[in-house]
Structure 1
Amino acid sequence: MSRSQQFAALVAKQPDNELFRFSLAQALLAENRAAEAVEHLESCARKKADWMMPRILLGKALVGLNRRTAAKPWLEDALKLAVEQNHEDPERELRELLKDLG
């Protein structure tokens, strides 16, 4: 059983558990299944307004899916959180990503 299958089973049992959804999304991304990860990352980001990581991963996944316009607000929101939470490395990375998006 793959990691994504393991976490999909947990999400099926507890669909409101954002940590299971986040872990499922990470497993899907590791398996190059970004399109399937998007809904789970969106769910996590919408559930917790101050959770930066789902926003970063969602933005990157959307960029990888050539959905740059959809990615930009998520990445901008993640940048705002990175600054507020003093996460310097993610802040630098997000500024670069956003610069590339134009």
Structure 2
Amino acid sequence: MVATYIKHIKTLYNLGARRLGILDVLPLGCLPISRVPIESGSCSGTDNWQARLFNRLLRREMTAAATASMPDLVYSIGSIYYTFYDMIKNPSSAGVREVARACCGDAS
């Protein structure tokens, strides 16, 4: 998945992009659809581990790819993982009341 992500960034670079803002992956294990199979309704540790692994690999591979084949690229990777995770763990500090249930669809 990281290789595909970087492939798309290289495509943008080849089209002339030289400045990019990139977002990492949010805590997928805390999405309502990931919480449904867990009896307690807590976040899926496995899904969150995979998201954190992706984020670490993204940073490492972006550094390598930019150095090797995109020398003029200026980029920043913003972490939405911890922004969302903090909001889920402390919803009132973000002005949110419900973080465990979906607003609609099957994951309620």
| TM-score, normalised relative to structure 1 | 0.30
Larger radius of gyration: 2
Larger helix fraction of residues: 1
| TM-score, normalised relative to structure 2 | 0.29
Structure with more contact order per residue of length (Cα contacts < 8 Å, sep ≥ 6): 2
